[in-house]
Amino acid sequence: MLPKKILALAAALMVSASWVHAADLRIGLAEDPDVLDPDQSRTFVGRIVYASLCDKLVDITPALEITPMLATGWSWSDDGMALTMTLREGVTFHDGTPFNAEAVAYNINRSKTLEESRRKSEVASIESTTVVDEYTIQMNLSKPDATLIAQLADRAGMMVSPTAAAATGAEFGLAPVCSGPFSFKERVQQDRIVLEKFPAYWNADAINFDSVTFLPIVDGTVRLANLRAGDIDMLERLSATDVASVKADAALGLEQAVSLGYQGITVNVNNGDRANTPLGKDSRVRRALSLAIDREAMNQVVFDGVMAPGNQAFPPNSPWYDTAFPVPARDVEAAKALLAEAGAENITVEIQTSNDPVNQQLMQVIQAMAAEAGITINIVSKEFTTQLSEQTAGNYQGSQIGWSGRVDPDGNIHSFMTCEGGLNDSKYCNPEVDALLNAARTSNDLAARKVSYDAASAILAEDMPIIYLYHQTWLWALSNKVAGYTPYPDGMIRLQGVSLTE
Protein backbone atom coordinates (compact mmCIF):
# COMPACT_ATOMS: atom_id res chain seq x y z
CA MET A 1 0.00 0.00 0.00
CA LEU A 2 1.36 3.44 -0.96
CA PRO A 3 2.16 5.94 1.82
CA LYS A 4 -0.38 8.71 2.38
CA LYS A 5 2.10 11.41 1.27
CA ILE A 6 2.59 9.69 -2.09
CA LEU A 7 -1.14 9.28 -2.54
CA ALA A 8 -1.66 12.96 -1.72
CA LEU A 9 1.05 13.95 -4.21
CA ALA A 10 -0.53 11.75 -6.89
CA ALA A 11 -3.91 13.35 -6.22
CA ALA A 12 -2.39 16.81 -6.49
CA LEU A 13 -0.74 15.90 -9.77
CA MET A 14 -4.06 14.59 -11.08
CA VAL A 15 -5.73 17.88 -10.15
CA SER A 16 -2.89 19.78 -11.83
CA ALA A 17 -3.18 17.68 -14.98
CA SER A 18 -6.94 18.22 -14.98
CA TRP A 19 -6.44 21.98 -14.65
CA VAL A 20 -4.07 22.00 -17.64
CA HIS A 21 -6.58 19.94 -19.61
CA ALA A 22 -9.44 22.32 -18.82
CA ALA A 23 -7.59 25.62 -18.90
CA ASP A 24 -8.51 28.89 -20.51
CA LEU A 25 -7.50 28.89 -24.16
CA ARG A 26 -6.29 32.31 -25.32
CA ILE A 27 -6.53 33.19 -29.02
CA GLY A 28 -5.00 36.27 -30.63
CA LEU A 29 -7.23 37.87 -33.27
CA ALA A 30 -6.05 40.26 -35.98
CA GLU A 31 -8.97 42.64 -35.33
CA ASP A 32 -11.73 43.30 -32.86
CA PRO A 33 -15.06 41.88 -34.09
CA ASP A 34 -18.04 44.09 -34.78
CA VAL A 35 -21.43 43.43 -33.17
CA LEU A 36 -21.84 39.84 -31.94
CA ASP A 37 -25.19 39.25 -33.59
CA PRO A 38 -25.15 36.74 -36.48
CA ASP A 39 -27.85 38.70 -38.28
CA GLN A 40 -26.05 42.05 -38.05
CA SER A 41 -22.35 41.26 -38.11
CA ARG A 42 -19.97 41.10 -41.05
CA THR A 43 -16.40 40.71 -39.73
CA PHE A 44 -14.24 37.67 -40.33
CA VAL A 45 -13.03 37.61 -36.72
CA GLY A 46 -16.65 37.73 -35.56
CA ARG A 47 -17.18 34.41 -37.35
CA ILE A 48 -14.19 32.98 -35.46
CA VAL A 49 -15.89 33.88 -32.18
CA TYR A 50 -19.18 32.41 -33.44
CA ALA A 51 -17.48 29.06 -34.07
CA SER A 52 -17.31 28.73 -30.29
CA LEU A 53 -20.50 30.62 -29.45
CA CYS A 54 -23.21 29.90 -32.04
CA ASP A 55 -23.86 26.51 -33.59
CA LYS A 56 -25.30 26.40 -37.12
CA LEU A 57 -27.84 24.17 -38.79
CA VAL A 58 -25.03 22.60 -40.83
CA ASP A 59 -21.25 22.91 -40.96
CA ILE A 60 -18.49 21.98 -43.38
CA THR A 61 -15.66 19.47 -43.30
CA PRO A 62 -12.04 20.40 -44.10
CA ALA A 63 -12.77 18.96 -47.55
CA LEU A 64 -15.65 21.46 -47.93
CA GLU A 65 -18.44 18.92 -47.69
CA ILE A 66 -21.66 19.93 -45.91
CA THR A 67 -22.03 18.03 -42.63
CA PRO A 68 -24.76 17.88 -39.95
CA MET A 69 -24.66 20.15 -36.92
CA LEU A 70 -27.98 21.27 -35.40
CA ALA A 71 -29.74 19.66 -38.36
CA THR A 72 -29.07 15.93 -38.55
CA GLY A 73 -30.54 15.42 -42.01
CA TRP A 74 -32.25 17.22 -44.89
CA SER A 75 -33.99 16.60 -48.17
CA TRP A 76 -35.31 18.60 -51.13
CA SER A 77 -38.72 18.32 -52.70
CA ASP A 78 -38.74 17.02 -56.27
CA ASP A 79 -39.38 20.53 -57.66
CA GLY A 80 -36.65 22.10 -55.49
CA MET A 81 -39.18 24.41 -53.85
CA ALA A 82 -39.01 23.01 -50.31
CA LEU A 83 -36.13 22.05 -48.01
CA THR A 84 -37.05 19.82 -45.07
CA MET A 85 -34.62 19.48 -42.16
CA THR A 86 -34.63 17.02 -39.28
CA LEU A 87 -33.27 18.67 -36.15
CA ARG A 88 -31.06 17.43 -33.35
CA GLU A 89 -33.02 16.59 -30.21
CA GLY A 90 -31.99 17.52 -26.68
CA VAL A 91 -30.29 20.81 -27.60
CA THR A 92 -30.82 23.94 -25.50
CA PHE A 93 -29.75 27.54 -25.88
CA HIS A 94 -27.48 29.05 -23.24
CA ASP A 95 -30.49 30.57 -21.43
CA GLY A 96 -32.30 27.23 -21.25
CA THR A 97 -34.67 27.88 -24.14
CA PRO A 98 -35.20 24.63 -26.05
CA PHE A 99 -33.93 24.31 -29.59
CA ASN A 100 -36.63 22.97 -31.89
CA ALA A 101 -38.43 23.68 -35.16
CA GLU A 102 -40.19 26.71 -33.67
CA ALA A 103 -36.78 28.19 -32.82
CA VAL A 104 -35.55 27.65 -36.39
CA ALA A 105 -38.69 29.31 -37.78
CA TYR A 106 -38.09 32.28 -35.47
CA ASN A 107 -34.45 32.59 -36.58
CA ILE A 108 -35.30 32.49 -40.29
CA ASN A 109 -37.97 35.15 -39.79
CA ARG A 110 -35.56 37.31 -37.79
CA SER A 111 -32.93 37.11 -40.53
CA LYS A 112 -35.56 38.16 -43.07
CA THR A 113 -37.29 40.93 -41.12
CA LEU A 114 -34.92 42.47 -38.56
CA GLU A 115 -34.32 45.99 -39.88
CA GLU A 116 -30.58 45.74 -39.23
CA SER A 117 -30.18 42.23 -40.67
CA ARG A 118 -27.41 41.67 -43.21
CA ARG A 119 -28.67 38.17 -43.91
CA LYS A 120 -31.77 39.22 -45.85
CA SER A 121 -30.34 38.49 -49.28
CA GLU A 122 -28.91 35.16 -48.06
CA VAL A 123 -32.35 33.85 -47.03
CA ALA A 124 -34.40 35.80 -49.57
CA SER A 125 -35.48 32.62 -51.33
CA ILE A 126 -37.24 31.35 -48.18
CA GLU A 127 -40.83 32.53 -48.54
CA SER A 128 -42.15 30.85 -45.40
CA THR A 129 -41.48 28.07 -42.92
CA THR A 130 -43.67 25.19 -41.80
CA VAL A 131 -43.19 23.55 -38.40
CA VAL A 132 -43.90 19.93 -39.37
CA ASP A 133 -43.36 18.66 -35.83
CA GLU A 134 -41.16 19.52 -32.85
CA TYR A 135 -37.95 18.51 -34.61
CA THR A 136 -38.83 18.90 -38.29
CA ILE A 137 -38.82 22.22 -40.16
CA GLN A 138 -39.78 22.82 -43.77
CA MET A 139 -38.50 25.89 -45.62
CA ASN A 140 -40.78 26.86 -48.48
CA LEU A 141 -39.01 28.69 -51.27
CA SER A 142 -40.23 31.28 -53.73
CA LYS A 143 -37.89 29.75 -56.31
CA PRO A 144 -35.25 27.01 -56.34
CA ASP A 145 -32.09 28.06 -54.51
CA ALA A 146 -28.97 25.96 -55.02
CA THR A 147 -27.04 28.11 -52.54
CA LEU A 148 -29.28 27.75 -49.51
CA ILE A 149 -27.58 24.80 -47.79
CA ALA A 150 -24.21 26.58 -48.03
CA GLN A 151 -25.79 29.76 -46.61
CA LEU A 152 -27.05 27.75 -43.64
CA ALA A 153 -23.45 26.62 -43.01
CA ASP A 154 -22.60 30.20 -42.07
CA ARG A 155 -24.22 33.12 -40.23
CA ALA A 156 -27.62 32.65 -41.89
CA GLY A 157 -27.72 29.22 -40.26
CA MET A 158 -26.55 30.28 -36.80
CA MET A 159 -29.30 29.82 -34.26
CA VAL A 160 -29.88 32.40 -31.52
CA SER A 161 -32.22 32.06 -28.56
CA PRO A 162 -35.71 33.29 -29.52
CA THR A 163 -36.27 34.31 -25.89
CA ALA A 164 -33.16 36.48 -25.71
CA ALA A 165 -33.52 37.87 -29.24
CA ALA A 166 -37.15 38.87 -28.68
CA ALA A 167 -36.23 40.61 -25.43
CA THR A 168 -33.23 42.56 -26.74
CA GLY A 169 -34.02 43.21 -30.42
CA ALA A 170 -31.22 45.05 -32.19
CA GLU A 171 -29.21 45.12 -28.92
CA PHE A 172 -28.88 41.31 -28.89
CA GLY A 173 -25.17 41.55 -29.75
CA LEU A 174 -24.35 43.14 -26.39
CA ALA A 175 -24.99 39.80 -24.65
CA PRO A 176 -25.53 37.14 -27.31
CA VAL A 177 -27.27 33.88 -26.40
CA CYS A 178 -26.74 30.93 -28.75
CA SER A 179 -26.35 27.16 -28.41
CA GLY A 180 -22.65 26.61 -29.10
CA PRO A 181 -20.01 24.95 -26.89
CA PHE A 182 -19.30 28.20 -25.04
CA SER A 183 -21.62 30.88 -23.64
CA PHE A 184 -20.96 34.61 -23.54
CA LYS A 185 -19.38 35.97 -20.32
CA GLU A 186 -18.01 39.44 -21.08
CA ARG A 187 -16.65 41.76 -23.71
CA VAL A 188 -14.34 44.75 -23.38
CA GLN A 189 -14.06 46.53 -26.72
CA GLN A 190 -10.58 46.39 -28.24
CA ASP A 191 -9.40 44.25 -25.31
CA ARG A 192 -11.08 40.84 -24.93
CA ILE A 193 -14.09 38.62 -25.46
CA VAL A 194 -14.50 35.89 -22.86
CA LEU A 195 -16.67 32.80 -23.34
CA GLU A 196 -17.35 30.07 -20.76
CA LYS A 197 -17.88 26.36 -21.36
CA PHE A 198 -21.59 25.53 -21.64
CA PRO A 199 -22.10 22.37 -19.56
CA ALA A 200 -25.33 21.42 -21.35
CA TYR A 201 -23.77 21.52 -24.81
CA TRP A 202 -24.91 18.56 -26.89
CA ASN A 203 -21.31 17.67 -27.80
CA ALA A 204 -19.70 18.69 -24.50
CA ASP A 205 -17.34 15.69 -24.43
CA ALA A 206 -15.45 17.19 -27.39
CA ILE A 207 -14.74 20.45 -25.52
CA ASN A 208 -11.65 20.48 -23.31
CA PHE A 209 -11.54 24.07 -22.02
CA ASP A 210 -13.34 25.84 -19.19
CA SER A 211 -13.21 29.06 -21.19
CA VAL A 212 -11.86 30.66 -24.31
CA THR A 213 -10.62 34.25 -24.44
CA PHE A 214 -10.27 36.13 -27.72
CA LEU A 215 -7.75 38.97 -27.65
CA PRO A 216 -7.66 41.48 -30.53
CA ILE A 217 -4.00 42.26 -31.26
CA VAL A 218 -3.81 44.21 -34.51
CA ASP A 219 -0.06 44.18 -35.02
CA GLY A 220 1.06 40.78 -36.35
CA THR A 221 4.53 41.19 -34.84
CA VAL A 222 3.02 41.87 -31.44
CA ARG A 223 0.64 38.89 -31.82
CA LEU A 224 3.59 36.60 -32.48
CA ALA A 225 5.57 38.09 -29.59
CA ASN A 226 2.59 37.41 -27.31
CA LEU A 227 2.51 33.80 -28.49
CA ARG A 228 6.22 33.33 -27.86
CA ALA A 229 5.84 34.89 -24.41
CA GLY A 230 3.02 32.48 -23.54
CA ASP A 231 0.42 35.24 -23.20
CA ILE A 232 -1.70 33.59 -25.90
CA ASP A 233 -1.88 29.96 -27.01
CA MET A 234 -2.55 30.47 -30.70
CA LEU A 235 -3.04 33.22 -33.24
CA GLU A 236 -4.88 33.56 -36.51
CA ARG A 237 -3.43 35.16 -39.62
CA LEU A 238 0.26 34.86 -38.97
CA SER A 239 2.15 37.31 -41.16
CA ALA A 240 3.54 35.54 -44.21
CA THR A 241 6.96 37.03 -43.50
CA ASP A 242 7.01 35.22 -40.11
CA VAL A 243 6.39 31.72 -41.50
CA ALA A 244 10.07 30.76 -41.64
CA SER A 245 10.65 32.05 -38.12
CA VAL A 246 7.75 30.01 -36.71
CA LYS A 247 8.87 26.87 -38.54
CA ALA A 248 12.31 27.26 -36.97
CA ASP A 249 10.90 27.63 -33.43
CA ALA A 250 10.61 24.26 -31.64
CA ALA A 251 8.11 25.74 -29.17
CA LEU A 252 5.63 26.63 -31.92
CA GLY A 253 3.61 24.92 -34.60
CA LEU A 254 2.28 26.14 -37.93
CA GLU A 255 -1.00 25.22 -39.62
CA GLN A 256 -2.25 26.51 -42.97
CA ALA A 257 -5.08 26.18 -45.48
CA VAL A 258 -5.82 27.88 -48.79
CA SER A 259 -8.73 30.27 -48.28
CA LEU A 260 -12.01 30.51 -50.15
CA GLY A 261 -12.00 34.29 -50.29
CA TYR A 262 -10.18 37.33 -51.62
CA GLN A 263 -8.66 40.70 -50.78
CA GLY A 264 -9.29 43.77 -52.88
CA ILE A 265 -10.18 47.45 -53.05
CA THR A 266 -13.90 48.14 -52.82
CA VAL A 267 -14.71 51.36 -54.69
CA ASN A 268 -17.55 53.69 -53.76
CA VAL A 269 -19.45 53.98 -57.04
CA ASN A 270 -22.87 55.10 -55.78
CA ASN A 271 -22.91 55.20 -51.97
CA GLY A 272 -23.52 58.88 -51.22
CA ASP A 273 -21.65 62.06 -52.09
CA ARG A 274 -18.18 60.54 -51.72
CA ALA A 275 -18.84 58.42 -54.80
CA ASN A 276 -18.58 61.59 -56.90
CA THR A 277 -14.95 61.10 -57.90
CA PRO A 278 -13.30 59.96 -61.14
CA LEU A 279 -12.55 56.66 -59.44
CA GLY A 280 -16.17 56.18 -58.45
CA LYS A 281 -17.85 57.43 -61.59
CA ASP A 282 -15.64 56.08 -64.39
CA SER A 283 -14.77 52.40 -64.71
CA ARG A 284 -11.82 53.32 -66.93
CA VAL A 285 -10.14 54.91 -63.92
CA ARG A 286 -10.73 51.78 -61.86
CA ARG A 287 -9.33 49.59 -64.64
CA ALA A 288 -6.33 51.92 -64.91
CA LEU A 289 -5.62 51.51 -61.19
CA SER A 290 -5.88 47.74 -61.59
CA LEU A 291 -3.43 47.76 -64.53
CA ALA A 292 -0.97 49.86 -62.54
CA ILE A 293 -0.64 47.10 -59.92
CA ASP A 294 1.92 44.33 -60.31
CA ARG A 295 0.16 41.63 -58.31
CA GLU A 296 2.99 39.11 -58.38
CA ALA A 297 5.56 41.69 -57.24
CA MET A 298 3.11 42.79 -54.53
CA ASN A 299 2.82 39.16 -53.39
CA GLN A 300 6.59 38.74 -53.22
CA VAL A 301 7.31 42.06 -51.47
CA VAL A 302 4.52 41.98 -48.89
CA PHE A 303 3.83 38.25 -48.45
CA ASP A 304 7.06 36.45 -49.41
CA GLY A 305 5.12 34.79 -52.21
CA VAL A 306 2.74 32.93 -49.85
CA MET A 307 -0.49 34.37 -51.28
CA ALA A 308 -2.07 33.86 -54.71
CA PRO A 309 -2.45 36.91 -57.00
CA GLY A 310 -6.04 37.34 -58.12
CA ASN A 311 -8.47 39.41 -60.16
CA GLN A 312 -11.85 37.77 -59.52
CA ALA A 313 -14.11 36.82 -56.63
CA PHE A 314 -12.81 33.24 -56.97
CA PRO A 315 -9.14 32.15 -56.78
CA PRO A 316 -7.45 30.97 -59.99
CA ASN A 317 -7.48 27.34 -58.73
CA SER A 318 -11.27 27.42 -58.23
CA PRO A 319 -13.54 25.66 -60.76
CA TRP A 320 -15.60 28.86 -60.77
CA TYR A 321 -12.73 31.06 -61.96
CA ASP A 322 -13.26 32.48 -65.47
CA THR A 323 -10.10 31.63 -67.41
CA ALA A 324 -11.10 34.09 -70.14
CA PHE A 325 -9.97 36.84 -67.75
CA PRO A 326 -6.62 35.76 -66.30
CA VAL A 327 -4.73 37.79 -63.70
CA PRO A 328 -3.49 40.79 -65.71
CA ALA A 329 0.16 41.65 -66.05
CA ARG A 330 1.11 45.15 -64.99
CA ASP A 331 0.79 47.64 -67.88
CA VAL A 332 1.55 51.21 -66.86
CA GLU A 333 1.22 52.60 -70.40
CA ALA A 334 -2.21 51.02 -70.84
CA ALA A 335 -3.20 52.48 -67.47
CA LYS A 336 -2.08 55.95 -68.57
CA ALA A 337 -4.01 55.58 -71.82
CA LEU A 338 -7.21 54.73 -69.95
CA LEU A 339 -6.75 57.73 -67.66
CA ALA A 340 -6.20 60.00 -70.65
CA GLU A 341 -9.30 58.60 -72.34
CA ALA A 342 -11.28 59.33 -69.17
CA GLY A 343 -9.79 62.82 -68.85
CA ALA A 344 -8.43 61.86 -65.45
CA GLU A 345 -4.66 62.20 -65.71
CA ASN A 346 -2.76 62.95 -62.50
CA ILE A 347 -5.71 62.35 -60.18
CA THR A 348 -5.70 61.88 -56.42
CA VAL A 349 -7.79 59.21 -54.70
CA GLU A 350 -8.25 58.35 -51.05
CA ILE A 351 -8.18 54.70 -50.00
CA GLN A 352 -8.83 53.60 -46.45
CA THR A 353 -7.27 50.51 -44.90
CA SER A 354 -7.12 48.93 -41.47
CA ASN A 355 -4.36 49.85 -39.06
CA ASP A 356 -2.86 46.38 -39.42
CA PRO A 357 0.82 46.94 -40.39
CA VAL A 358 0.65 44.34 -43.19
CA ASN A 359 -2.36 46.04 -44.79
CA GLN A 360 -0.60 49.37 -44.51
CA GLN A 361 2.50 47.94 -46.20
CA LEU A 362 0.28 46.48 -48.92
CA MET A 363 -1.27 49.87 -49.60
CA GLN A 364 2.12 51.57 -49.58
CA VAL A 365 3.32 49.18 -52.30
CA ILE A 366 0.15 49.84 -54.33
CA GLN A 367 0.58 53.57 -53.72
CA ALA A 368 4.07 53.50 -55.24
CA MET A 369 2.93 51.48 -58.24
CA ALA A 370 -0.11 53.70 -58.91
CA ALA A 371 2.01 56.84 -58.76
CA GLU A 372 3.93 55.67 -61.82
CA ALA A 373 0.68 55.71 -63.79
CA GLY A 374 -0.30 59.18 -62.56
CA ILE A 375 -2.61 58.14 -59.71
CA THR A 376 -1.78 59.64 -56.33
CA ILE A 377 -3.19 57.56 -53.47
CA ASN A 378 -3.74 59.09 -50.06
CA ILE A 379 -3.83 56.25 -47.53
CA VAL A 380 -6.14 56.65 -44.54
CA SER A 381 -5.53 54.13 -41.75
CA LYS A 382 -8.44 53.21 -39.48
CA GLU A 383 -9.33 50.69 -36.81
CA PHE A 384 -10.99 47.81 -38.61
CA THR A 385 -14.53 48.13 -37.25
CA THR A 386 -14.40 51.87 -37.91
CA GLN A 387 -13.31 51.13 -41.48
CA LEU A 388 -16.32 48.83 -41.88
CA SER A 389 -18.81 51.33 -40.47
CA GLU A 390 -17.42 54.12 -42.65
CA GLN A 391 -17.65 51.83 -45.66
CA THR A 392 -21.27 50.94 -44.91
CA ALA A 393 -22.14 54.61 -44.45
CA GLY A 394 -20.50 55.57 -47.76
CA ASN A 395 -17.87 57.73 -46.06
CA TYR A 396 -15.05 56.55 -48.28
CA GLN A 397 -13.73 56.64 -51.87
CA GLY A 398 -11.88 53.32 -51.86
CA SER A 399 -11.48 50.72 -49.12
CA GLN A 400 -8.83 47.99 -49.02
CA ILE A 401 -10.74 45.09 -47.55
CA GLY A 402 -11.45 41.45 -48.21
CA TRP A 403 -13.84 38.57 -47.77
CA SER A 404 -13.07 35.26 -46.11
CA GLY A 405 -14.96 33.26 -48.72
CA ARG A 406 -17.80 30.75 -48.80
CA VAL A 407 -18.21 27.14 -49.91
CA ASP A 408 -20.74 28.04 -52.60
CA PRO A 409 -19.56 30.64 -55.19
CA ASP A 410 -22.70 32.67 -54.59
CA GLY A 411 -21.35 33.58 -51.16
CA ASN A 412 -18.37 35.40 -52.70
CA ILE A 413 -20.28 37.53 -55.15
CA HIS A 414 -24.07 37.87 -54.85
CA SER A 415 -24.25 40.02 -51.70
CA PHE A 416 -21.49 42.30 -53.01
CA MET A 417 -22.57 42.79 -56.62
CA THR A 418 -26.38 42.72 -56.74
CA CYS A 419 -28.28 45.99 -56.44
CA GLU A 420 -29.85 45.10 -53.08
CA GLY A 421 -27.02 42.89 -51.81
CA GLY A 422 -26.58 43.10 -48.05
CA LEU A 423 -22.81 43.64 -48.34
CA ASN A 424 -22.87 45.90 -51.40
CA ASP A 425 -21.12 48.90 -49.83
CA SER A 426 -20.09 50.29 -53.22
CA LYS A 427 -23.82 50.43 -54.18
CA TYR A 428 -22.89 49.08 -57.58
CA CYS A 429 -26.04 48.20 -59.52
CA ASN A 430 -26.30 46.54 -62.92
CA PRO A 431 -29.61 44.77 -63.68
CA GLU A 432 -27.85 42.42 -66.10
CA VAL A 433 -25.46 41.27 -63.36
CA ASP A 434 -28.42 40.86 -61.01
CA ALA A 435 -30.20 38.65 -63.55
CA LEU A 436 -27.13 36.47 -64.10
CA LEU A 437 -26.31 36.01 -60.41
CA ASN A 438 -29.94 35.36 -59.55
CA ALA A 439 -30.13 32.76 -62.31
CA ALA A 440 -27.06 31.02 -60.92
CA ARG A 441 -28.90 30.61 -57.64
CA THR A 442 -31.81 28.71 -59.13
CA SER A 443 -30.04 25.82 -60.83
CA ASN A 444 -28.41 22.70 -59.43
CA ASP A 445 -26.70 22.18 -62.80
CA LEU A 446 -23.07 23.15 -62.16
CA ALA A 447 -22.37 23.78 -65.85
CA ALA A 448 -25.35 26.11 -66.17
CA ARG A 449 -24.28 27.99 -63.06
CA LYS A 450 -20.75 28.36 -64.45
CA VAL A 451 -22.14 29.97 -67.63
CA SER A 452 -23.97 32.56 -65.51
CA TYR A 453 -20.94 33.33 -63.34
CA ASP A 454 -18.66 33.66 -66.36
CA ALA A 455 -21.07 36.09 -68.03
CA ALA A 456 -21.25 38.15 -64.82
CA SER A 457 -17.44 38.10 -64.52
CA ALA A 458 -17.11 39.52 -68.03
CA ILE A 459 -19.28 42.51 -67.08
CA LEU A 460 -17.54 42.98 -63.74
CA ALA A 461 -14.12 42.94 -65.44
CA GLU A 462 -15.29 46.11 -67.23
CA ASP A 463 -17.27 47.78 -64.43
CA MET A 464 -14.82 46.77 -61.65
CA PRO A 465 -16.59 47.97 -58.48
CA ILE A 466 -14.08 45.79 -56.61
CA ILE A 467 -10.46 45.71 -57.74
CA TYR A 468 -9.42 42.21 -56.70
CA LEU A 469 -5.82 41.86 -55.56
CA TYR A 470 -5.00 38.44 -54.11
CA HIS A 471 -6.30 35.34 -52.35
CA GLN A 472 -5.10 34.51 -48.89
CA THR A 473 -3.54 31.43 -47.45
CA TRP A 474 -4.76 31.14 -43.86
CA LEU A 475 -1.84 30.82 -41.47
CA TRP A 476 -2.13 29.86 -37.81
CA ALA A 477 0.71 29.78 -35.32
CA LEU A 478 0.19 27.93 -32.07
CA SER A 479 2.01 26.78 -28.98
CA ASN A 480 3.22 23.20 -29.21
CA LYS A 481 1.06 22.60 -26.13
CA VAL A 482 -2.04 22.92 -28.31
CA ALA A 483 -3.05 19.50 -29.61
CA GLY A 484 -5.74 18.31 -32.00
CA TYR A 485 -6.21 21.49 -34.03
CA THR A 486 -7.51 21.02 -37.58
CA PRO A 487 -7.19 23.86 -40.14
CA TYR A 488 -10.21 24.62 -42.33
CA PRO A 489 -10.29 26.52 -45.66
CA ASP A 490 -12.89 28.94 -44.26
CA GLY A 491 -10.35 30.19 -41.71
CA MET A 492 -12.52 29.40 -38.69
CA ILE A 493 -11.11 28.04 -35.43
CA ARG A 494 -13.17 25.03 -34.34
CA LEU A 495 -12.31 23.85 -30.84
CA GLN A 496 -13.97 20.45 -30.85
CA GLY A 497 -11.24 17.93 -30.05
CA VAL A 498 -8.61 20.59 -29.30
CA SER A 499 -6.76 20.43 -25.96
CA LEU A 500 -3.76 21.78 -24.08
CA THR A 501 -1.06 19.35 -23.02
CA GLU A 502 1.81 19.59 -20.58
pLDDT digits 0-9 by tens, 327-360: 999 999 999 999 999 999 999 999 999 999 999 9
| Alpha carbons 51 and 45: distance in angstroms, whole number | 10
Dump pLDDT digits (tens) for 399-433: 999 998 988 999 999 999 999 999 999 999 999 99
Which helix (H) or strand (E) covers residue 302, if one does? helix 295-303
The pLDDT of residue 127 is 98
Q: Within this chain, do residues 245 and 266 fall inside the same structural domain, yes or no?
A: no
Asked whether the predicted pLDDT for residue 13 surpasses 90, the reply is: no
In order of 446, 447, 452, the CA distances from 320 in angstroms are 10, 10, 10
Residues 168-177 have a mean pLDDT of 98
Residues 470-498 have a mean pLDDT of 96
Q: Within this chain, do residues 273 and 312 fall inside the same structural domain, yes or no?
A: yes
In this structure, are strands 473-479 and 347-354 parallel, antiparallel, or unpaired? unpaired
Dump pLDDT digits (tens) for 73-100: 999 999 999 999 999 999 999 999 999 9
Q: Within this chain, do residues 126 and 187 fall inside the same structural domain, yes or no?
A: no
Final residue of a structural domain among 119, 138, 163: 163
| Alpha carbons 236 and 247: distance in angstroms, whole number | 15
The pLDDT of residue 9 is 42
The CATH number given to whatever domain includes residue 307 is: 3.10.105.10
Band (17; pLDDT cuts 50, 70, 90): very low
Q: Within this chain, do residues 268 and 367 fall inside the same structural domain, yes or no?
A: yes
Asked whether the predicted pLDDT for residue 393 surpasses 60, the reply is: yes
Percent of the chain with pLDDT over 70: 96
Comparing C-alpha atoms, which of 250, 186, 233, 235 is closest to residue 53? 186
Long-range contacts at 431-440 (CB < 8 A, ≥ 24 apart): 432/459, 433/459, 433/460, 433/463, 437/410, 437/413, 440/146, 440/409, 440/410
**Average pLDDT across the chain, whole number:** 94
| Alpha carbons 340 and 430: distance in angstroms, whole number | 25
Residues 457-466 have a mean pLDDT of 98
In this structure, is residue 63 part of a structural domain? yes
Give the alpha-carbon dihedral of 410, 415, 416, 421, to 10 degrees.
150
In this structure, is residue 7 part of a structural domain? no
In this structure, is residue 320 part of a structural domain? yes
In this structure, is residue 206 part of a structural domain? yes
Residues 166-184 have a mean pLDDT of 98
Q: Strand order of the sheet with strand 308-309? A: 308-309, 466-471, 262-267, 398-403, 347-354, 375-382
The CATH number given to whatever domain includes residue 228 is: 3.40.190.10
- Per the structure, the count of domains in the chain is 3
Which helix (H) or strand (E) covers residue 10, if one does? helix 4-21
Lowest-pLDDT choice from 144-148, 168-172, 182-186: 144-148
In order of 137, 139, 316, the CA distances from 40 in angstroms are 24, 22, 31
Q: Within this chain, do residues 445 and 403 fall inside the same structural domain, yes or no?
A: yes
| Alpha carbons 421 and 408: distance in angstroms, whole number | 16
Q: Within this chain, do residues 129 and 245 fall inside the same structural domain, yes or no?
A: no
Asked whether the predicted pLDDT for residue 289 surpasses 90, the reply is: yes
**SS3 state of residue 140:** strand
Q: Within this chain, do residues 373 and 481 fall inside the same structural domain, yes or no?
A: no
Band (317; pLDDT cuts 50, 70, 90): confident
Residues 294-306 have a mean pLDDT of 96
Residues facing 256 on adjacent strands: 475
Band (186; pLDDT cuts 50, 70, 90): very high
The pLDDT of residue 8 is 43
Lowest-pLDDT choice from 6-20, 271-285, 449-463, 483-497: 6-20
Instruction: Locate all alpha helices (DSSP H) within 140-282, ordered by sequence.
Output: 148-151, 162-168, 220-229, 243-247, 278-281
In this structure, are strands 58-60 and 66-68 parallel, antiparallel, or unpaired? antiparallel
Q: Within this chain, do residues 297 and 357 fall inside the same structural domain, yes or no?
A: yes
Q: Which domain, by its residues, includes 120? A: 55-163
The pLDDT of residue 258 is 85
In this structure, is residue 40 part of a structural domain? no
Q: Within this chain, do residues 147 and 189 fall inside the same structural domain, yes or no?
A: no
Residues 104-109 have a mean pLDDT of 98
| Alpha carbons 102 and 138: distance in angstroms, whole number | 11
Residue 234 CA from chain centroid, whole number? 19
Give the alpha-carbon dihedral of 172, 173, 177, 182, to 10 degrees.
180
The pLDDT of residue 409 is 94
In this structure, is residue 17 part of a structural domain? no
Q: Within this chain, do residues 433 and 328 fall inside the same structural domain, yes or no?
A: yes
In this structure, is residue 48 part of a structural domain? no
The CATH number given to whatever domain includes residue 84 is: 3.90.76.10
Which residues, at least 6 apart from 183, have a Cβ–Cβ distance to it below 8 Å? 53, 94, 177, 195, 196, 197, 198
Q: Are 34 and 41 in contact (CB under 8 A)?
A: yes
The pLDDT of residue 41 is 97
The pLDDT of residue 22 is 55
To 5 degrees, how large is the angle CA 390–CA 392–CA 397?
Answer: 60
In this structure, is residue 43 part of a structural domain? no
Q: Within this chain, do residues 276 and 419 fall inside the same structural domain, yes or no?
A: yes
Q: Within this chain, do residues 378 and 295 fall inside the same structural domain, yes or no?
A: yes
Amino acid, res. 500: L
Final residue of a structural domain among 131, 163, 195: 163
- DSSP structure string for 415-476: HHHSTT-TT-TT----HHHHHHHHHHHH---HHHHHHHHHHHHHHHHHH-SEEEEEE-EEEE
Neighbours of 372 (CB within 10 A): 12
Tell me, yes or no, if the pTM score tops 0.85. Answer: no
